[in-house]
Copies of this chain bind each other. A is one copy, B any other.
Amino acid sequence: MTALGNVKLKPGDTIGILGGGQLGRMLAMAAARLGLKCQVFSPDPDSPAFDVVLNATCAEYADVEALELFANDVDVITYEFENVPAATAMVLAARRPVLPAQKILETTQDRLIEKNFVKRLGIDTADFADVSSVETLQSAIARIALPAVIKTRRFGYDGKGQAIVREGDDPSRIWEELGTKSAILEAFVPFEREISVIAARSADGHVECYDVTENEHRDHILKFSRVPAAISDELAGQARAVAERIAHALDYVGVLAVELFVVAGNGGPRVLVNEIAPRVHNSGHWTLDGASISQFEQHIRAIAGWPLGKPVRHGQVTMTNLIGDDILDYEQWLTVPGATVHLYGKGAPRPGRKMGHVTEVTPANSK
């Protein structure tokens, strides 16, 4: 049991995880490896994370009584998704430490607040404008050259809640189709590549970043991650420094992911921050098999008040997501030499659903 101050778990203590998807599942397995127990809270009775923990709570996030009982059972609480309702976080935080802290959710749940936060740190992003009506959309289009991307401020993921705005498009129609009252318009970024940095920060302010990952999306969903990214050491250093700065500014405890664009600049390529995910991230799944310590373990260590690890990468790594029907090929993947297959224990392979992933490591000496 922990007080509401600094967390310092002992082996055998229990971590509460909000959310029962594959991220919660992999967090729970990482905790188990460290001798820590987990209890998962999720409204979905078929939650993949339920399969790997002794105790599960199946209840709605608005169920205050269930939240209180859950909090009483655990020593510290974390989450696998950034859209934890504020009221949920508040009920839990009154009883147990919630890490990363609730104020971080407020920043990262809203694209406008997040972008302004990043900008205030002096870190570059794509040009963006607040959009709350057809009129503000029109003036945003006038300021930001088209094509541009309109995104809902909240609850977007995997390309949901966004649309490209092109020359000649009708702003009223776009606004109507987006069906929101709060959005941002972002300049379309002609990026050379997409990269991400997975950073862990402990309560005492120590930060460990993994090597920069290069990401390839298909239909707005991550398909491949490769590490190291094919960028210069200098640019990789800049990307890691950005993630570190963000982690410090948020007074973050746990693992976060910063997604960045690499764009052409006058003095060579430079990075723009695209998005912050206050959680373990799909582009960090390669760390499970490609490094001595995974992002999931780093997150658990951070929220447990344990020292972060110094992960050593085993070589060049490629992570391939198994999305929807990709899962039907699992037997072929099982036979690929050096490939490590992860299946998430989900039921039906709906289109766009992340069903598993595969990691392939090429040893360091063949780099």
Contact = CB atoms under 8 A, between A and B. Distances in A.
B292 A361 contact: yes
B29 A25 contact: no
A339 interface: yes
A54 B50 CA distance: 7
A331 interface: yes
30 contacts: A11-B343, A11-B345, A25-B32, A29-B29, A29-B52, A32-B51, A32-B345, A34-B341, A34-B342, A35-B344, A35-B346, A51-B54, A52-B54, A54-B56, A289-B292, A292-B338, A292-B340, A292-B361, A306-B334, A307-B334, A307-B335, A309-B335, A309-B337, A310-B336, A312-B363, A314-B315, A314-B361, A364-B364, A365-B365, A365-B367
Stoichiometry, as copies per complex, reads 2
A345 B314 CA distance: 27
A33 to B, nearest CB: 5
A330 interface: yes
B334 A33 contact: no
B363 A314 contact: yes
A293 interface: yes
Contacts of A111: none
A320 to B, nearest CB: 14
A85 interface: no
Interface in A296-353: 301, 306-307, 309-312, 314-315, 327, 330-331, 334-347
A128 to B, nearest CB: 40
A338 B51 CA distance: 29
A336 B307 CA distance: 10
Interface in A43-69: 50-54, 56
A24 interface: no
A12 interface: yes
Contacts of A278: none
Contact of A339 (B289, B292, B301, B344): B292
Given A33-B342, A34-B343, A365-B365, 10 more contacts: A11-B345, A25-B32, A28-B52, A29-B29, A35-B343, A51-B53, A289-B292, A307-B334, A309-B334, A314-B314
A356 interface: yes
Interface of A: 11-12, 25, 28-29, 32-37, 50-54, 56, 289, 292-293, 301, 306-307, 309-312, 314-315, 327, 330-331, 334-347, 356, 359, 361, 363-365, 367
Given A292-B340, A307-B331, A310-B337, A52 B32 contact: yes
A306 B33 CA distance: 25
Nearest to A33: B342
A347 B35 CA distance: 10
A28 B340 CA distance: 17
Residue from A37, A335, A338, A346 having most chain B Cβ neighbours under 10 A: A338
Residue from A289, A315, A340 having most chain B Cβ neighbours under 10 A: A340
A338 B310 contact: yes
A292 B360 CA distance: 8
A37 B293 contact: no
